[in-house]
Amino acid sequence: MPHTLLIDNWTLQNAGELLCGGLDGETTSDLVFTKNGASYRYDKVSADTVRFEALCQFLNNLVFADNLFVDEMYADAWESFPPIKAAHTAKILVTKPFKDVMDEWIKAREVMADRLCVNSPLLKQHRKNKRTYAEYGKADDGFLSQLVWGGAGMLARADYFRLPYVPHPSRERLFRRASFMLGPSAGARLSEFITSERLKIFKRIDGSGFFTSMHLPPVAVQIIDAASGTTDIIKTALQVRDNYSALRKWLSKFQQALDGENMKEILAHGKALQSVARYVDSYSLLTPVGDTSLQFGLSWLKVGVKCGSPVNAIKNLFGMRAELNRLILAPAGHNSLNKFLRMLGEQHTKRGRVFKDEFLKRTSEGRG
């Protein structure tokens, strides 16, 4: 069974805007919750940074998924951008007529929208949006409607078609507070593992915090480094994709195990990640091979491991383990970000500096 994800047309639109239009220096809204979660506000953030996050997310999914499904009804948001259209032509990005079965998922959207409203002010504004839309054809707060109502619609589609859903970066803050609604995702768990292992390496090799302060997804690093310009980034991504066929196959089987609640297979896939973690640890001078037992943890799995095993080292030279090690040991991405700015002609401009500073800030804060 292919590893298929449901993604937002909004994500593709933002990625296409950046690749084809460059930086524009504009701002957009970002949903932020108070510490106790009882209220929310909007902060102004760089629209260019959000578009870059959308691009990185798309590149990551383009490499690791067999297919990316989007709603056919809103595909016009990105069809005018040739780089994004190239993924559609390659038949990896696939439009689906979800409207044809709307009666099957539309009621679930309303329930899910209410559940996404994680505090009273949010629910109150959502209900006001529904009233004003019914009366005037326009929501009172269009941005919140796009986050909540639009996000709930995608959740409903994902639930009906039993697909893992990857929300647009602007929806992530809200969705993290209701993560139980997304369901188990092999791709999300793999990304969590890769990020955890990379941060562990960066902390070991750099006490200043330079590498941990900003790091790009390793797939984005590889693609940007190999691309000659923004117009061929998606074409390059499709070529890089060929280097991760074993990992895509592994993700497909992992997702099947999660969907089927097959505990034996889930644990087996966890053991493969343990193997990679041991191999990565064997590189560190702080954990001499064969000497140190340590414990690493994920939110979904904690395990004690022993570094340094010849058999494990051999296993990590082939297949998905080798592909995964290549991602974990990829550069942090500072040079790649500078190259991307050069592609846009913005490396030494004020606009480029603002974009880079904002991205650095959001990465170091974990967008939380």
| pLDDT tens-digit readout, 82-131 | 999 999 999 999 999 999 999 999 999 999 999 999 999 999 999 999 99
Q: How far is residue 255's CA from residue 233's CA, in Å, rounded to a whole number? A: 28
Q: At 40, is the secondary structure helix, strand, or coil?
A: strand
Mean predicted confidence (pLDDT) in 272-287 = 76
Q: Is the pLDDT of residue 302 over 90?
A: no
Q: Is the pLDDT of residue 336 over 50?
A: yes
pLDDT at site 294: 40
pLDDT at site 312: 65
Percent of the chain with pLDDT over 90: 69
pLDDT at site 297: 47
Query: Are residues 222 and 240 in contact, defined by beta-carbon separation less than 8 angstroms?
Result: yes
pLDDT at site 344: 96
pLDDT at site 210: 63
30 contacts: CB under 8 Å, gap ≥ 6: 42, 43, 44, 45, 50, 170, 173
pLDDT at site 215: 75
Q: At 30, is the secondary structure helix, strand, or coil?
A: strand
DSSP readout, 7-27?
E-HHHHHHHHHHHHH-----E
Between these two residues, 312 and 28, which has the higher pLDDT value?
A: 28
Q: At 209, is the secondary structure helix, strand, or coil?
A: coil
State pLDDT tens for residues 47-56: 999 999 999 9
pLDDT at site 14: 98
pTM above 0.85, yes or no: yes
Q: Is the pLDDT of residue 212 over 70?
A: no
Band of residue 38 on the pLDDT scale cut at 50, 70, 90: very high
Tell me how many degrees the CA angle 56-59-63 measures, rounded to the nearest 5. Answer: 145
Residue whose pair of structure tokens reads 């929806």 in the numeric block: 171
pLDDT at site 239: 96
pLDDT at site 157: 95
Mean predicted confidence (pLDDT) in 269-292 = 71
Task: Copy the structure tokens of residue 184.
Answer: 């188990």
DSSP readout, 141-175?
SHHHHHHHHHHHHHHHHHHHHT--EE--HHHHHHH
Task: Copy the structure tokens of residue 367.
Answer: 């967008």
Contacts 24+ apart (CB under 8 A), 33-38: 33/118, 33/119, 33/173, 33/177, 37/118, 37/119, 37/177, 38/119, 38/120, 38/121
DSSP readout, 168-195?
-HHHHHHHHTTGGGT---HHHHHHHHHH
